[in-house]
Chains A and B, each alone.
Chain A
Amino acid sequence: MFSEKKFIEASRDFVCVRLETFENKEHEALVRKLLNGRFANTSFCILSPDGEEQLTRSSRGPKTILGASGRGPSAEPGSLDDILAAMEELVEPYPLRGRPEELTLQDFHSFRQALNVASGDQRLLLFVAASPQDREKAKKVLKPVFANDEIIGRFHLDFGTAEADSDWSEKIAGTRSKSGYLIIQADEFGQKGKAVAQLPLTASGEEIAKALLSANESFAKTEVRKVYSEHVTEGRRENIFFENEIPYGEDRDGDGKADGRRYGKGRD
């Protein structure tokens, strides 16, 4: 569904947020709030713009809510057209405000997670390595860039901070400087990457957009879509493990404790 052009177009009327469930306690708390105390790998719901009101019930995925008939395990998922119609109905009471080029920019809690997600989505990552003062200047430059139709939804964006990302350069090959705009291609497992282009913090929005589109064109020619099952099989073979703050596991009965097995590096 998320790769359907019609769905992608409809998604622009929403602020789409996808949190890494196990990344930190804040994310766990949000998931538990939506799932009435339970904790699951995946959760979904539509919220009002202030985040206070649930406009749909919550569930483990959108297909069982948007355009679905019935509820619970017997619910019949809706067709894409049903989903789109439900989405259109949900945005109707909320007229757009503000100018697109004033948008809030995407960011990650850490460069480490940004690299992982960029790898998972197979998108290039624009990483901004800058002092706090230069970071604010960079945001002003990047807002119109990331409001551009040619850029939206094609890249991930992360602003490095000294606290969370002091070791970012150790993960990336081909860097020429410790500061600047870096266009990064994550590796297969998203734990390392390479800088495919680098611009100074003095670069204009036009220069950055041009570099992003050029890098994306090359990326599209060389990158091959991952096959999920093969990727995981290979990850097991290579003993890949990504540790989050929250241990992997679900709490389906909502008793505050994880159910069943957890996953850790010690299981091989």
Chain B
Amino acid sequence: MVPSSMKRFLALSLFSLACAGTFYAQGARPIDITASPQPIGDAGVMWYTTWDTAIEEAERSNRPIFFMAAAATCSGISGVF
């Protein structure tokens, strides 16, 4: 029988592997990701979410493009970015 602490460790390890692409780039492991420190409702980065709207705005305003692509899921589980 596998102890529950071992099960938890294995689950976290698998989770870590599944989401690794997103977070290793930012320097943190997925199991270390907790909650964003930003208060809910506060202003954050204003993201464009299609290439067409971003390029249109960049050309209009002559601003360089801060480009990111990332998964808005973790191994298919939605509601995380």
Give the B-binding residues of A (Cβ under 8 A): 1-3, 7-8, 11-22, 26-27, 30-31, 34, 40-51, 55, 59-64, 77, 90-91, 94-98, 102-109, 113-114, 116-117, 119-123, 152-154, 156, 186-191, 216-217, 219-220, 223-229, 231-233, 235-236, 240-244, 248, 250, 263-265
A-B contact count (CB 8 A): 295
- Specify which of B30, B43, B70, B74 is in contact with A42 (CB 8 Å cutoff): B70
- Highest count of chain B CB atoms <10 Å: which of A60, A64, A153: A60
- Specify which of B11, B25, B56, B65 is in contact with A14 (CB 8 Å cutoff): B65
Alpha-carbon separation in the docked complex, A239 to B57 (Å) = 39
B60 at the interface (CB under 8 A from A): yes
Which of chain B's residues have a CB closer than 8 A to the CB of A27? Answer: 51, 69
Chain A residue, CB-CB nearest to B35: A225
Query: Do the beta carbons of B26 and A15 come within 8 Å of each other?
Result: no
Using known A-B contacts A104-B53, A107-B49, determine if residue A228 contacts B68 with beta carbons closer than 8 Å. no
Alpha-carbon separation in the docked complex, A41 to B30 (Å) = 14
Residues of B47-81 contacting chain A, CB below 8 A: 47-51, 53-81
Query: Do the beta carbons of A240 and B58 come within 8 Å of each other?
Result: no
Query: Do the beta carbons of B76 and A241 come within 8 Å of each other?
Result: yes
How many residues of chain B are within 8 Å of chain A by beta carbon?
61
Alpha-carbon separation in the docked complex, A94 to B72 (Å) = 31
- Specify which of A16, A63, A225 is in contact with B45 (CB 8 Å cutoff): A16
Alpha-carbon separation in the docked complex, A198 to B48 (Å) = 23
